[in-house]
DNA sequence: CCAAAAGTGTTGCGATTACACCCATGC
DNA sequence: GCATGGGTGTAATCGCAACACTTTTGG
């Protein structure tokens, strides 16, 4: 029933849980924390926290991520709100899931200073508390859809990257093999990468050219109705 | 800060607002209510209510829709959670938006018994309270994406419908003209409709064949990896 | 000199698009 | 008999997928 004041309505705890994706050595990873409080103390969990009265959810997600990893200016996006009545046995809690994309290679030192948090390969991540595994699934589905329609992967790669790295990233996100030539041809046809004179020598004798994402050009193209589509 | 009990955390009001889509006379419509309480009394608003402690959000959305329209067994889906600090001037409220799809032709009598609610053409709907217009936008975007990848429109049409009605529905959702022959050819290629012997005589002298959606066949196809794609 | 990864184009096929005429009937 | 909406097929084009060999160089 709606009342003319809201006084009689139930209030609830609103949590934010973050599915933090990273990419390293051709593998998609997620960052997990070992819970240091009851219930489920010691178990692996998504990084989370509670919404405060004076902030919106986006801000809360940014604050929680920053607090537990030290990272700022990270791409985040709301995924879904989970509300099963007994999802948290301690108390009725609604949780809004956000996913974040992190370039591990550039940020790893910062993150791993924090103790009880750890990267897991997505494929062999542990069982998580509550409904966190479902949250991860939803976030992956979302990431996948996003990757097909936006050049989202750049958030997960260093500033300079090789075509092969980019391809491996898409393969990890989409969980399928892609053809090398077709992938490169398609990406080049978008014309949103800058080919550098530099080479990355770490993965082969011949060396592989490095590329950068041309954000400006991409934005202009989007405004002109360009549609990214892998 | 996460504490070992949640006692110190802020609690908030959690609302559910419903973007209710209908389709009649080739037009996509939304159902709105004139608010009968402060703040913003008398203004047009989405149909909404508050989450109760003992229900999850899906249940709350169903309850709220049923309470204000009398309808049951309606397709609903969570869209997004809105949390701007001052979105509701009366009190800090977070709102989870759901969209619903209703076949107006079949259900209209029930709905219009209720007094202060009314269908509006999407194109000339009034300005809504709070951030409700943004909610509608998000819901449309979601509906659009959904319509491209699932035969979602059947929720919006009567049990029996003509090809032309189906096409007009897609045109309304996608906000673009479609070619008559291409549309029918594509839809027939999916093979998920049952052509009836009956004709609808209301729109032309010749009459147009009626079709039904073959839910069973569709489900079987989806299980076999079929991918609906307009 | 050879192993290992990088780089590079072409072709066939299937899907999408564009397009125009006859049909049935109520008035 | 004519105006109105219903119904139907084909050809041209485009985008996607499949595919193999040469280059470079550290060891």
Partner B contacted by A86 (CB < 8 A) = no
Give pLDDT, residue B222: 94
A9, A11, A49 ranked by CB distance to B2: nearest: A49
Number of domains in chain B: 2
Give pLDDT, residue A6: 86
A13, A55, A94 ranked by CB distance to B9: nearest: A13
Output phi, psi for A93, to 5 deg: -135, 130
The enclosing domain of A191 has a CATH number of 1.10.10.10
Contacts of B84 in chain A (CB under 8 A): 56
Output phi, psi for A141, to 5 deg: -55, -40
pLDDT digits (tens, 9 = 90+) for A39-54: 899 999 999 999 999 9
State both tokens at B78. Answer: 């969570």
Task: Mutation target for B interface from A81, A82, A148, A227: give the one with most B CBs within 10 A.
Answer: A81
Contact assessment for residue B99 and residue B20, using Cβ atoms and an 8 Å cutoff: yes
Question: Which of B149, B181, B208 finishes a domain?
Answer: B149
Q: Which residue is nearest to nucleotide C20 (CA to C1')?
A: B181
Q: Are residues B137 and B161 in the same domain?
A: no
Write out the residue range of the structural domain in which residue A168 sits: 157-223
B5 belongs to a structural domain? no
pLDDT digits (tens, 9 = 90+) for B21-35: 999 999 999 999 999
Q: How far is the CA of A178 from the C1' of D18 (A)?
A: 12
Q: Are residues B161 and B145 in the same domain?
A: no
Q: Are residues B107 and B189 in the same domain?
A: no
Cα(A72)–Cα(B11) distance, integer angstroms: 26
B3 belongs to a structural domain? no
Q: Are residues B188 and B215 in the same domain?
A: yes
Cα(B68)–Cα(B96) distance, integer angstroms: 17
Of the candidates B140, B155, B121, B129, which has an alpha carbon nearest to the alpha carbon of residue B30? B121
Question: Which of A128, A149, A170 finishes a domain?
Answer: A149
pLDDT digits (tens, 9 = 90+) for B88-144: 999 999 999 999 999 999 887 777 776 689 999 999 999 999 999 999 999 999 999
Q: Are residues B216 and B104 in the same domain?
A: no
Cα(A56)–Cα(A65) distance, integer angstroms: 14
Question: Which of B114, B149, B184 finishes a domain?
Answer: B149
Could you say which DSSP state residue A15 is in?
Answer: E
Output phi, psi for A173, to 5 deg: -65, -45
Q: Are residues B29 and B122 in the same domain?
A: yes
A59 belongs to a structural domain? yes
For chain B, the first-to-last Cα distance in angstroms comes to 47
Cα(B132)–Cα(B223) distance, integer angstroms: 37
Contact assessment for residue A100 and residue A75, using Cβ atoms and an 8 Å cutoff: yes
The most confident of A3-7, A35-39, B82-86, B109-113, by mean pLDDT:
B82-86
Q: Are residues B136 and B170 in the same domain?
A: no
Q: Are residues A86 and A200 in the same domain?
A: no
Mean pLDDT score across all residues of chain A: 94
Contacts of B12 in chain A (CB under 8 A): 11-12, 14, 51, 53
pLDDT over threshold 70, residue A4? no
Q: Are residues A85 and A195 in the same domain?
A: no
Cα(B95)–Cα(B80) distance, integer angstroms: 8
Percentage of chain A modeled with pLDDT above 70: 97
For B217-229, the DSSP string reads HHHHHHHTT----
Collapse the DSSP code of A118 into the 3-class scheme (helix H, G, I; strand E, B; otherwise coil) and give the result. Answer: strand
Contact assessment for residue A164 and residue A207, using Cβ atoms and an 8 Å cutoff: no
Give pLDDT, residue B145: 96
Residue B219 CB contacts under 8 Å (≥ 6 apart), including other chains: none
């Amino acid at each position: 029933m709606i009342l003319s004041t809201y006084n009689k309505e139930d209030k609830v705890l609103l949590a934010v849980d973050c599915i933090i994706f990273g990419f390293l050595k051709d593998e998609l990873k997620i960052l997990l924390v070992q819970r240091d409080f009851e219930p489920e103390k010691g178990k692996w969990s998504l990084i989370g926290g509670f919404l405060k009265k004076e902030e919106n959810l986006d801000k809360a997600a940014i604050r929680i991520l920053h607090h537990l990893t030290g990272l700022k200016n990270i791409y985040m996006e709301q995924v879904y709100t989970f509300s099963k009545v007994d999802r948290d046995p301690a108390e009725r809690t609604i949780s809004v899931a956000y996913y974040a994309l992190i370039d591990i290679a550039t940020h790893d030192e910062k993150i791993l200073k924090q103790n009880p948090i750890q990267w897991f390969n997505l494929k062999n991540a542990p069982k998580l508390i509550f409904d966190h595994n479902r949250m991860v699934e939803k976030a992956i589905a979302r990431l996948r859809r996003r990757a097909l329609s936006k050049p989202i992967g750049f958030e997960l790669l260093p500033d300079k990257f090789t075509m092969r790295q980019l391809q491996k990233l898409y393969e990890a996100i989409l969980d399928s093999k892609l053809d090398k030539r077709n992938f490169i041809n398609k990406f080049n046809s978008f014309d949103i990468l800058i080919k550098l004179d530099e080479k990355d020598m770490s993965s082969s004798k011949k060396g592989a050219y490095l590329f950068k994402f041309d954000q400006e050009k991409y934005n202009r193209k989007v405004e002109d109705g360009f549609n990214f589509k892998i």
